[in-house]
């Protein structure tokens, strides 16, 4: 593996000599190493993969000084950004201190705080691409401290492996650029190396949600698209905005499995009364099965089961009349039945179904880790006026009108990919490391707030909020629209929600922002600068 290059203070990046989305030069960045494994029936091989923070969680400043390229309300500085190309030339994403940002990796264990989006790197400059047909993907997760109103997720997206690096984007995967997903959000600051100055261009790509959930609810969801790779949607029709939701490029609703929504309400949750106890870590196994059991066949089934305390636990079957397909797998038949039972538009079928999803899995997808907070009735609660005794009436046990958490660390460990049956056949090389602080939030989740939006009733389509919060614009909040009419925006969250510490904040550390409870004074020579309501940072005076 390549070692992160130390970038000297005020290095050559201060002088932009070509049109380029620049690299920062005021601090150094070392990507945390996360050990992952590739398995066959003869055993597993460990690789030192790495973690990188999404570019939207980084300080975006003018090349050569500390002034932001966008205001805390999302207004671009027209002096340095008169057009998209000039803006890419004149602005730089700064490096990140991962430990100070609440992101920690030890061996095969990753831990992160709330409101982050991370990617897995093959090396310092390239995302790791997973090609999953006729394979299985396994990981262990601890969501014991993520109660209601928290959405923690692992998902695959068809990003470019270089982070869309080009002559106009020299930052690339090293700085976490190139995000896209099936929601086709228009909030990305840069697309293909040009600034998205009007927030009118969206970034679409196929998406498979391995897991979205918390200690109350769990889902996995397929989102195929009609275009390949990162696709720029340039109109409300292409981007699926508003009434064009089912006319766009991707299946925003998706087809997925949520046991609670399928009327199995003792399967998953906090405590020993549930079959799968979310107060304890558990292993998630997902198998991508093709029609000919090869890596070139058509995807026909995505199968899910869990392992906890050495016991294999399968998904229960649906418990609604008319839904007779097994609840352990996403298949086209399951999706077709589910859309009828839940009275939802079958956009999954319209966008090519599992065959289309499988083609993306064959081309290769990037693994992302995320967590965010908000009113999440589409994930773990109910919409006002809905009937929980009917299909689509309830997604989880969370009650309305409870506060949104400010602390909910997530731990993922023992990531493995390999031949079907190979990733659970042997023990991990070392036990998972618990990196969360010893002072834990109560394991029993607080009730969750419901969204005031009116309900259409769509599960089993529990798709993720796609455009996770961007730190540079209040207008680029996550687009959480989905079949269940989830909120169309989530709070724009801080790029770094480091746990509180005593004393003054060091250089480049976070010193303010919503949900931040640490010190607000900076060390000598630095001042606390406000970039948005969610993020203030100590920069040189």
Phi and psi torsions of 237, nearest 5°: -70, -50
> What is the spatial distance between Cα 365 and Cα 224, in angstroms, rounded to a whole number?
12
Cβ proximity of 454 and 377 under 8 Å: no
pLDDT digits (tens, 9 = 90+) for 152-183: 999 999 999 999 998 778 899 999 999 999 99
Residue 493 reports pLDDT greater than 80? no
The lowest-confidence range among 256-270, 332-346, 407-421, 464-478 is 464-478
pLDDT of residue 521: 87
Q: Look up residue 88 and give its two tokens.
A: 């890419």
Q: Where are the beta strands (DSSP E) in 455-534?
A: 510-512, 526-532
Which residue from 212, 296, 312 is spatially nearest to 260, judged by alpha carbons? Answer: 212
For the chain, give the mean pLDDT.
Answer: 82
Neighbours of 74 (CB within 10 A): 18
Catalytic sites, residue numbers: 207, 212
Q: Across the strands, what pairs with 39? A: 44, 418
pLDDT at position 6 over 70: no
pLDDT band at 439 (very low <50, low <70, confident <90, very high): very low
Compute the average pLDDT of residues 300-319.
97
Residue 458 pLDDT grade (very low, low, confident, very high; cuts 50, 70, 90): very low
The pLDDT of residue 73: 79
Element spanning 347, H or E? helix 347-350
The span from the CA of 539 to the CA of 541, in Å, is 6
Closest CA to 361 of 131, 204, 119: 131
Specify the pairing of strand 276-277 against strand 268-269: parallel
Q: What would the pLDDT profile of 237-280 be if each residue is shown by its tens digit?
A: 999 999 999 999 999 999 999 999 999 999 999 999 999 999 99
Q: How confident is the model at residue 535 (pLDDT cuts 50, 70, 90)?
A: low
Cis peptide before 43 (omega within 30 of 0): no
Condensed to tens digits (0 to 9), the pLDDT of residues 340-386 reads 999 999 999 999 999 999 999 999 999 999 999 999 999 999 988 89
What are residue 399's phi and psi, to 5 degrees? Answer: -90, 160
Does residue 64 register a pLDDT over 70? Answer: yes
C-alpha distances in Å from residue 279, one per residue of 50, 109, 114, 257, 531: 28, 18, 18, 21, 37
Instruction: Return the closest-CA partner of residue 143 out of 208, 207, 50, 218.
Output: 218
CA 318 to chain centre: 27
HSE at residue 455, side-chain half, CA atoms within 13 A, is 24
The model carries a pTM of: 0.80
> Who has greater pLDDT, 18 or 462?
462
CA distance linking residue 255 with residue 145, whole number of Å: 27
Dihedral of alpha carbons 213, 216, 220, 224, sign: negative
Looking at the predicted structure, is the pLDDT value of residue 467 above 80?
no
d(CA 462, CA 380): 10
Angstrom distance (rounded) from CA 162 to CA 185: 20
Quote the pLDDT of residue 306.
98
Parallel, antiparallel, or unpaired: how do β-strands 135-142 and 410-419 relate?
antiparallel
Nearest to 349 by CA among 259, 464, 253: 253
C-beta of residue 225 within 8 angstroms of C-beta of residue 240: no
pLDDT score recorded for residue 7 = 30
Where are the domains positioned within the chain?
A: 12-499, 502-541
- Which tens digit of pLDDT belongs to each residue from 19-62? 346 666 667 899 999 999 999 999 999 999 999 999 999 989 99
Query: Percentages helix, strand, coil for the chain, rounded to the nearest 5?
Result: 10, 30, 60
Q: What is the pLDDT of residue 19?
A: 36
Which token pair is 295? Answer: 């890596």
Q: Mean pLDDT throughout 88-97?
A: 92
- Alpha helix ranges (H) inside 75-139: 84-90
Reading the block at residue 384, the tokens are 């006002």
Contact predicate 481/181, CB 8 Å: no
- pLDDT-wise least confident of 63-72, 338-347, 437-446: 437-446
Q: Residue 521, CB half-sphere, CA atoms under 13 Å: how many?
A: 5
Structure tokens at 22: 């620049």
Give the CATH architecture of domain 12-499: Distorted Sandwich (2.70)
pLDDT in tens, 119-142: 999 999 999 999 999 999 999 999
Q: Which residues contact 78 (CB under 8 A, 6 or more apart)?
A: none
User: What is the pLDDT at residue 148?
Assistant: 96
Does 494 have pLDDT greater than 80?
Answer: no
């Amino acid at each position: 593996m390549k070692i992160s290059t130390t970038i000297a203070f005020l290095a050559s990046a201060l002088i932009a000599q070509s049109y380029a989305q620049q690299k920062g030069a005021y601090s150094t960045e070392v990507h945390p190493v996360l050990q992952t494994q590739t398995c066959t029936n003869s055993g597993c091989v460990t690789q030192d993969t790495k973690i990188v923070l999404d570019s939207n969680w980084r300080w975006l400043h003018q090349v050569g000084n500390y002034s932001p390229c966008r205001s805390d309300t999302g207004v671009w500085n027209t002096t340095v950004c008169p057009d998209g190309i000039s803006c890419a030339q004149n602005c730089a994403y700064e490096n990140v201190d991962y430990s100070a940002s609440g992101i920690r990796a030890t061996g095969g264990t990753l831990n992160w705080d709330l409101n982050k989006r991370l990617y897995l790197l093959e090396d310092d400059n390239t995302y790791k691409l997973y090609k999953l047909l006729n394979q299985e993907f396994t990981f262990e997760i601890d969501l014991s401290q993520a109660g209601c109103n928290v959405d923690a997720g692992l998902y695959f997206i068809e990003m470019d492996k270089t982070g869309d690096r080009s002559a106009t984007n020299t930052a690339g995967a090293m700085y976490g650029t190139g995000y896209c997903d099936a929601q086709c959000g228009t909030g990305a600051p840069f697309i293909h190396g040009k600034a998205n100055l009007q927030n009118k261009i969206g970034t679409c790509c196929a998406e498979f949600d391995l897991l979205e959930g918390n200690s109350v609810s769990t889902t996995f969801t397929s989102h195929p698209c009609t275009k390949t790779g990162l696709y720029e949607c340039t109109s409300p029709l292409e981007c699926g905005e508003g009434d064009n939701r089912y006319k766009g490029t991707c299946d925003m609703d998706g087809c997925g499995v949520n046991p609670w929504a399928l009327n199995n309400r003792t399967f998953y949750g906090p405590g020993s009364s549930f079959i799968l106890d979310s107060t304890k870590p558990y292993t998630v196994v997902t198998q991508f099965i093709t029609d000919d059991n090869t890596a070139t066949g058509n995807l026909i089934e995505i199968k899910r089961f869990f392992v906890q305390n050495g016991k294999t636990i399968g998904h229960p079957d649906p418990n609604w009349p008319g839904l007779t397909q097994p609840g352990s797998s996403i298949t086209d038949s399951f999706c077709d039945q589910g859309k009828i039972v839940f009275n939802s538009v079958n956009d999954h079928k319209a966008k090519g179904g599992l065959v289309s999803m499988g083609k993306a899995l064959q081309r290769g997808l990037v693994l992302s880790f995320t967590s965010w907070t908000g009113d999440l009735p589409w994930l773990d609660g109910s919409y006002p006026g809905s009937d929980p005794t009917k299909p689509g009436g309830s997604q989880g046990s969370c009650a309305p009108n409870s506060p949104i958490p400010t602390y909910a660390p997530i731990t993922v460990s023992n990531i493995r990919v390999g031949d079907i049956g190979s990733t659970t056949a042997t023990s991990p090389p070392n036990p998972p490391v618990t990196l969360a602080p010893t002072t834990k939030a109560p394991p029993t989740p607080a009730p969750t707030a419901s969204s005031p939006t009116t309900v259409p009733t769509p599960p089993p389509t529990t798709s993720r909020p796609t455009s996770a919060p961007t730190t540079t614009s209040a207008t680029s909040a996550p687009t959480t629209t989905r079949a269940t009419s989830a909120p169309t925006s989530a709070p724009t969250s801080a790029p770094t929600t480091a746990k509180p510490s005593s004393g003054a904040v060091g250089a480049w550390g976070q010193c303010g922002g919503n949900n931040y409870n640490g010190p607000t004074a900076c060390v000598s020579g630095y001042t606390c600068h406000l970039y948005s309501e969610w993020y203030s940072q100590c920069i040189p005076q």
